[in-house]
Amino acid sequence: MRIHGEYVIYCKNMIKEVPVNSFSLNGNEKEYLQECIDTGWISGEGPFIDKFEKTFSQYIGRSHGVAVSNGSAALDVAIVAAGIGKGDEVIMPTFTIISPALSVVRAGAIPVLVDSDPVTWNMDVSQVERKITPKTKAIVIVHIYGLPVEVDEVLTLAKKYNLKVIEDAAEMHGQTFRGKKCGTFGDISIFSFYANKVINTGEGGMILCDDISLANRCKKLRNLAFEPGGPRFVHYEMGYNYRMTNMQAALGLAQLEQIEMLLNKKSAIGKYYHEHLKFLINRGYQLPLQSTDYAENIYWVFGLVAPDEKEKNKIIEYLKTRKIGNRPFFWCMHEQPVFKEMDLFKDERYPVAEKLARNGFYIPSGVGLTQEELETVSKTICEFYG
């Protein structure tokens, strides 16, 4: 400990890590999981799956829920079930997680990208109409970080041009747009229950819709496209094994019972950061918009956009030394090496999204975050700026 180097290491080890994500499993999770083990229902069959599909779809306000293994799987199924296929164009934001773009490309369709709104960070809906061509089949809306897309405009366009709407509400558990729940706006809508989402099943997802034949089609695709009522092991199309396990559904059901508490927690974290980090605005930072005329921010994550990339790198480096977890923002679809390799989005530029991707990052905001950790995060950022 007297040797300088070792002393530094000793001090560093004294700093407690604040994870970028942390969850809370303090309800009936254990009891329901125990039930899975006691009854032997641990596979993609079992009573919790149906229960979770029913209660979650009811909570959102849709007629049917189809639970799947994760949110990306939900998108794969949703895109195919919506009838999107070879040569179809699908409009979507460039600033998103890659999942919806992957689903579209895998279906043989072409993602057509739209830049972001600089204030809400969502797809700039005023730029959608000029992207519509005779080949356009659907619009994918992806609600980003805590505020919904301006859904009204998208729905108007979808109606005018007869387009399908796929809604990626993975981050929007409980959020509303003009008082109506996110997850009700797509012909098909999807959620993720990945460990960093508001309701968490470790890995998990759900497809929601109101059309029974569409729901049955999703159920079929989820389960290797077995023919319902047909001869077993004879298949007429390529399905997936995207089944959710009864254990995941057990977690989901227990989490859903606590959703109001979880949402309140997120909201309190967002408000705390706003209060304690507003000085960053004078330093050229952008904080998440607290509300719009159509929604209050639910702060799925608390994003910060630094004035430039250099400043972002500096603070991220500092947060790393202080063991404060953080994540960069999404990287744009038109700048993804995997898509460039496929000759997609050649020479396309989306300046707003590019800036968000380069300068944005988010700080710890998991529902398991303690008050002490919350204070540590804001104190550390204040410290950095003296």
**CA–CA–CA angle 82, 59, 248 (5° rounding):** 75
The sign of the CA dihedral 100, 185, 204, 360 is positive
Structure tokens at 201: 């099943």
* Ramachandran quadrant class, 212 (left: phi over 0; alpha: psi -120 to 50; beta: rest): alpha
Burial state string for 116-153 with b = 16 or more CB within 10 A and e = fewer than 16:
bbeebbbbbbebbeeebeeebbbbbbbbbbbbbbbbee
167 binds ligand PLP per the rule CB under 6 A: no
Neighbours of 348 (CB within 10 A): 14
Write down the least CB distance from residue 305 to ligand PLP, Å: 18
| Tokens 């993975």 found at | 170
When the beta carbons of 88 and 168 are compared against ligand PLP, the nearer one is: 168
- State the residue number with the nearest CB to ligand PLP: 71
Identified binder of ligand PLP from the candidate list 170, 215, 256, 324, rule CB under 6 A: 170
Identified binder of ligand PLP from the candidate list 79, 92, 97, 363, rule CB under 6 A: 97
Write down the least CB distance from residue 335 to ligand PLP, Å: 18
C-alpha distance from residue 152 to each of 116, 126, 157, 158, 339 (Å): 17, 11, 9, 10, 30
Identified binder of ligand PLP from the candidate list 18, 36, 41, 70, rule CB under 6 A: 70
Using CB under 6 A as the binding rule, the residues of this chain from 200 to 229 that contact ligand PLP are 205
381 binds ligand PLP per the rule CB under 6 A: no
192 binds ligand PLP per the rule CB under 6 A: yes
Q: At what angle do helices 47-60 and 29-39 cross, to 10 degrees?
A: 150
Q: Near ligand PLP by CB under 6 A, which window of 44-52, 70-78, 272-280, 350-358? A: 70-78
Write down the least CB distance from residue 70 to ligand PLP, Å: 4
Please state, in angstroms and rounded to a whole number, the distance separating the CA atoms of residues 262 and 171. Answer: 13
Identified binder of ligand PLP from the candidate list 23, 48, 95, 194, rule CB under 6 A: 194
Write down the least CB distance from residue 168 to ligand PLP, Å: 5
Footprint of ligand PLP (CB under 6 A): 70-72, 97, 99, 142, 168, 170-171, 192, 194, 205
